[in-house]
Amino acid sequence: MRQDKPGVLLVNLGTPDAPTTPAVKRYLKQFLGDPRVVDTPRWLWWPILNGIILPFRSPRVSKLYASVWMDEGSPLMVYSKRQRDALAQRLDMPVALGMSYGTPSLKSAVDSLMAQGVTRLIVLPLYPQFSCSTVAAVWDGLHSAFKTYRTMPDIRFIRDYAEHPAYIAALKASVERSFAQHGQPDLLVMSYHGIPQRFANEGDDYPQRCADTTAALTQALGLRPDQVKMTFQSRFGREPWLTPYTDETMQSLPGKGVKHVQVMSPGFSADCLETLEEISEQNCEFFMHAGGEKFEYIPALNDDAAHIEMMVQLVNTPL
């Protein structure tokens, strides 16, 4: 009889190995070279990426990474490893961590689990809201990882968890802690990573999944719709992305009488450059320079106990 040995594969985006120009360049080349992220035809995109974007963007981005780098490494990697270790302590099965880009690779994580005899693989991409540019990229990577195998495990792929009760409860607790510490703001801003509007027009339901999370959390907190605003950050390139843009929103709010905001990024399962530098620093500066008076960033769930409990529930939920 075939053995049943489950194992968990946690997957996140990835991060440079060091806050240096060469390391950032290697990482960005792999990330921006994925057609799931930038779908411009390769013959056109590759010269632009290698000849213009990487040489100019890598030195600037490496300085930003250096500003948020922790003693143990990149924040995303530090928190992801803590999540892996905490989840492994709660489960009676192997847990491996893989990244879509950079190290540890998704392939190395699959190899580790297969070497331990896993016959039933539970894949948990740590993106609460599905997008073709993130979750589907994990699916692509998983397919590539098994290309050389003569056998395969049963695979359960968790598409997303935008409205999962344990996820909403963990977010609710984090917001309530912030409100208790800093007072309730005039506006709670939920800033999600953006995608090109064209992706949504072509069928990506990411905007709806972000709206689902926002609505569920607003209801759980007992807030009115006018006390919450959903925005999108981190746009790249010249084509239209999902709106409203977070940076433009931060610059306009004080002129509308909003003097105290708290900002969270529910789409990020771990703090990283996009939250610690772009939101907590850049967008705080935009808001304060426009006349705002109080700005607080609510951290990602990271390795919070409620977040790990959510992962346990997702892994243990039968199909």
Q: Are residues 85 and 213 in the same domain?
A: no
pLDDT of the residue at 37: 97
The verdict on residue 1 lying in a domain is: no
Q: For the chain, what is the domain count? A: 2
Q: Are residues 15 and 133 in the same domain?
A: yes
In a 10 Å sphere around its CB, with 0-12 CB exposed, 13-18 middle and 19+ buried, how is residue 180 labelled? exposed
Q: Are residues 106 and 199 in the same domain?
A: no
Tens digit of each residue's pLDDT (9 = 90 or more) over 56-97: 999 999 999 999 999 999 999 999 999 999 999 999 899 999
pLDDT of the residue at 2: 73
Q: Are residues 312 and 257 in the same domain?
A: no
Do the Cβ atoms of 76 and 271 come closer than 8 Å? yes
pLDDT of residue 202 exceeding 90, the answer is yes
Task: Work out the average pLDDT over 21-31.
Answer: 98
Tens digit of each residue's pLDDT (9 = 90 or more) over 155-196: 999 999 999 999 999 999 999 999 999 999 999 999 999 999
Q: Are residues 11 and 155 in the same domain?
A: yes
Q: Are residues 155 and 214 in the same domain?
A: no
Q: Are residues 66 and 127 in the same domain?
A: yes
Tens digit of each residue's pLDDT (9 = 90 or more) over 246-280: 999 999 999 999 999 999 999 999 999 999 999 99
Q: Are residues 131 and 201 in the same domain?
A: no
pLDDT of residue 130 exceeding 90, the answer is yes
Q: Are residues 255 and 113 in the same domain?
A: no
The verdict on residue 62 lying in a domain is: yes
Cα–Cα distance between 147 and 136 in angstroms, integer? 17
Give me the CATH number covering residue 265: 3.40.50.1400
Q: Are residues 124 and 239 in the same domain?
A: no
**Confidence category of residue 3, pLDDT binned at 50, 70, 90:** confident
> Does the global pTM surpass 0.85?
yes
Q: Which domain holds residue 236?
A: 165-298
The verdict on residue 292 lying in a domain is: yes
Task: Work out the average pLDDT over 303-312.
Answer: 98
pLDDT of residue 319 exceeding 70, the answer is no
Tens digit of each residue's pLDDT (9 = 90 or more) over 207-224: 999 999 999 999 999 999
Quick one: which of 129, 136, 165 has its CA closest to 268? 129
In a 10 Å sphere around its CB, with 0-12 CB exposed, 13-18 middle and 19+ buried, how is residue 117 labelled? exposed
**Confidence category of residue 318, pLDDT binned at 50, 70, 90:** confident
Q: Are residues 191 and 288 in the same domain?
A: yes
Question: Which residue in the block uniquely carries the two structure tokens 């194992």?
Answer: 7
Strands of the sheet containing 6-12, edge to edge, are: 95-99, 6-12, 120-125, 154-157
How many residues are recorded in the chain? 319
Residues 6+ positions from 9 with CB-CB distance below 8 Å: 96, 98, 106, 109, 110, 113, 121, 122, 123, 124, 142
Kindly list the distances between the CA atom of residue 145 and the CA atoms of 32, 54, 94, 150, 168, in Å, as whole numbers in the listed order: 20, 27, 18, 12, 32
Instruction: Tell me what the pLDDT averaged over the chain comes to.
Output: 97
pLDDT of the residue at 294: 98
- The region, left, alpha or beta by phi > 0 then psi within -120 to 50, assigned to residue 313 is alpha
Q: Are residues 69 and 146 in the same domain?
A: yes
Cα–Cα distance between 30 and 46 in angstroms, integer? 11
pLDDT of the residue at 310: 98
Do the Cβ atoms of 118 and 3 come closer than 8 Å? no
Give percent of the chain with pLDDT exceeding 70.
Answer: 100
Cα–Cα distance between 47 and 85 in angstroms, integer? 41
Cα–Cα distance between 153 and 204 in angstroms, integer? 28
